[in-house]
Amino acid sequence: MFRKNDILELDIEEINNLGAGVGHKDGMVIFVKGAVSGDRVKAKIIKVDKKYCVARLEQLLVASRERSSEVFCKAPEACGGCIYRHILYEHECEMKRRYVMGAFLRAGLSDVEVEPLRSTKQDKGYRNKAQYPFAMVGGRVKVGFYAGKTHKVMPCFSCTLQPEIFEKIAKFVCDFADEKRISVYDEQSGKGLLRHLYLRHGKASGEVMVCLVINGDKLPFEEEFSVRLRQTFPDVKSVMLNANRQKTSVILGREYRLLSGRSYIEDTLLGRRFRISPAAFYQVNHDGAELLYRIAAEQVALGPDETLLDLYCGIGTIGLCLASPRTHLVGVEIVPSAVECARENAKANGFGNAEFFCGDAGDAENLIDQAIKRCGDPEKTAVVVDPPRKGLDAVLIDHLTAKGFPRIVYVSCDPDTLARDCARFRARGYRIGPVTPVDMFPKTGHCEGVVSLFKGL
């Protein structure tokens, strides 16, 4: 059996979705961080568990052909975001497809077809959102990223996944805080003001939102801050404060206050206009979202007389992109300001027959029932669901299947919960169509997926 500090030679067979190389020796699974499928490595065991060991890469004996020689990012590796930064993108795509297949296998659905992964192939500058923690380093205000699984801030202004303007704005904000001696929040003591810098960018519109998350109500020199910020960066259309006085690792508090401009930014997706409030979800990769929605649109294939029920609708993007302005559209979303945006977005895009309900989509008896009643005949209603990573509430699946909707298109950001939920749909008499994996987050371990569920096995 293995013991800590043992050194072993190992062939790496695959990379898991946490970015660790995986090999087998004497019936044990061995995870080696930084190793790549196809590598032969010398590794040192650092942790022994019943079924697996964790080892550190000591020496690369034979380098895999899947390794990339490109220096992808200047950020310290400990930032933990781009776990696939050291492998070729084609290989990453294959790994992600296998990850989706593995999820369906584990859920007892090995017969479900998993199509080749779709991607925009744009692996740089695609993120339109950042939430940087502030830190005091050497007497200066900095922003950075939490080192993987910790709350230690690694100072870093640039991230290859983000647009360049984020780095410039972050520097501006830190310089301003230094100049005005504005304090930085300390997690241990709960004292200090600046907690996070929250940025959003509309890729198509160019508009930027700057929101400072502070441990208080007021930012010193806030008027001067917004004026100078907007003079320096004319694309900044919204400057907001978010108050978070709780001792919590949750980034955003509940209250927002507008400092300058509008309380939202605008962007377009597939030719439709959207306003985005700071508390509302907005797909983090613009071009990736357009691809995802196109795939969902193909699967929904909405007929002219059909109603579209968009569950977990956010600011209404899926429904408004997939339907035509004449469609009867019913949306459900839990965040009130997102629902307000959805209503405005429907108007701005000429949808005269759209209604949105605010509440928990898992509240099947009340809220969903009301929304479903508004849809009319289930036979003439297509359903799209796009839940967060934890997937669908079992009660919601029971309810949707009991109503007998002929087809439900599931857009997912977590292959494991997607597979679990598909198994539940099958158990209630629904056929599972082919799964299309979609890579919205190149270089990271995330993978989206779209699948249609049809009534009748």
Work out which of 163, 314, 437, 442 binds ligand SAH, going by CB under 6 A: 314
Burial call 289-309: b when 16+ CB within 10 Å, e when fewer: bbbbbbbbbebbebeeebbbb
Size of the site for ligand SAH (CB under 6 A): 18
Nearer to ligand SAH, 14 or 393 (CB): 393
Structural tokens at position 31: 């995870």
Nearest distance from residue 432's CB to ligand SAH, in Å?
A: 21
* Number of neighbours of residue 188 by Cβ within 10 angstroms: 7
Structural tokens at position 211: 């929101």
Q: Is 82 a catalytic residue?
A: no
Work out which of 386, 414, 421, 448 binds ligand SAH, going by CB under 6 A: 386
Nearest distance from residue 53's CB to ligand SAH, in Å?
A: 37
* Axis crossing angle, helix 394-403 with helix 415-427, rounded to the nearest 10: 40
**Binding range to ligand SAH, per CB under 6 A, among 26-34, 136-144, 221-229, 329-337:** 329-337
Q: Does 338 bind ligand SAH (CB under 6 A)?
A: yes
Nearer to ligand SAH, 19 or 449 (CB): 449
Q: Does 226 bind ligand SAH (CB under 6 A)?
A: no
Nearest distance from residue 278's CB to ligand SAH, in Å?
A: 13
Work out which of 335, 348, 395, 423 binds ligand SAH, going by CB under 6 A: 335
Nearer to ligand SAH, 80 or 314 (CB): 314
Work out which of 145, 312, 405, 425 binds ligand SAH, going by CB under 6 A: 312
Q: Does 405 bind ligand SAH (CB under 6 A)?
A: no
Work out which of 208, 361, 364, 435 binds ligand SAH, going by CB under 6 A: 361
Nearest distance from residue 268's CB to ligand SAH, in Å?
A: 14
Q: Does 317 bind ligand SAH (CB under 6 A)?
A: yes
Nearest distance from residue 281's CB to ligand SAH, in Å?
A: 3
93, 413, 422, 447: the catalytic one is 413
Q: Does 362 bind ligand SAH (CB under 6 A)?
A: yes
* Number of neighbours of residue 225 by Cβ within 10 angstroms: 23
Nearer to ligand SAH, 281 or 441 (CB): 281
CA angle 345, 349, 305 (to 5 degrees): 105
Structural tokens at position 151: 């709350």
Nearer to ligand SAH, 77 or 360 (CB): 360
Nearest distance from residue 166's CB to ligand SAH, in Å?
A: 20
Nearest distance from residue 121's CB to ligand SAH, in Å?
A: 21
285 CB contacts (<8 Å, ≥6 apart)?
Answer: 120, 126, 127, 128, 440, 441
Work out which of 115, 167, 178, 360 binds ligand SAH, going by CB under 6 A: 360
Q: Which amino acid is at 440?
A: M
Report how far residue 138's alpha carbon sits from residue 424's, in angstroms, rounded to the nearest whole number.
54
Q: Does 281 bind ligand SAH (CB under 6 A)?
A: yes
**Binding range to ligand SAH, per CB under 6 A, among 231-239, 311-319, 345-353, 444-452:** 311-319
* Number of neighbours of residue 223 by Cβ within 10 angstroms: 10
Q: Give me the residue whose beta carbon is nearest to ligand SAH.
A: 314
Distance of CA 109 to the CA centre of its chain: 25
User: Residue 328 — φ and ψ, nearest 5°?
Assistant: -80, 115
Structural tokens at position 326: 């004449």
Nearest distance from residue 230's CB to ligand SAH, in Å?
A: 27
Nearest distance from residue 352's CB to ligand SAH, in Å?
A: 21
Work out which of 267, 333, 414, 439 binds ligand SAH, going by CB under 6 A: 333
CA angle 55, 57, 60 (to 5 degrees): 140
Contact 13, 37 (CB under 8 A): yes
Q: Does 396 bind ligand SAH (CB under 6 A)?
A: no
Q: Does 357 bind ligand SAH (CB under 6 A)?
A: no
The residues facing 258 across adjacent strands are 240
Work out which of 283, 285, 349, 412 binds ligand SAH, going by CB under 6 A: 283
Q: Does 337 bind ligand SAH (CB under 6 A)?
A: no
Rule CB under 6 A: which residues touch ligand SAH? 281, 283, 312-314, 317-318, 332-335, 338, 360-362, 386-388
Residues annotated catalytic, as ranges: 413
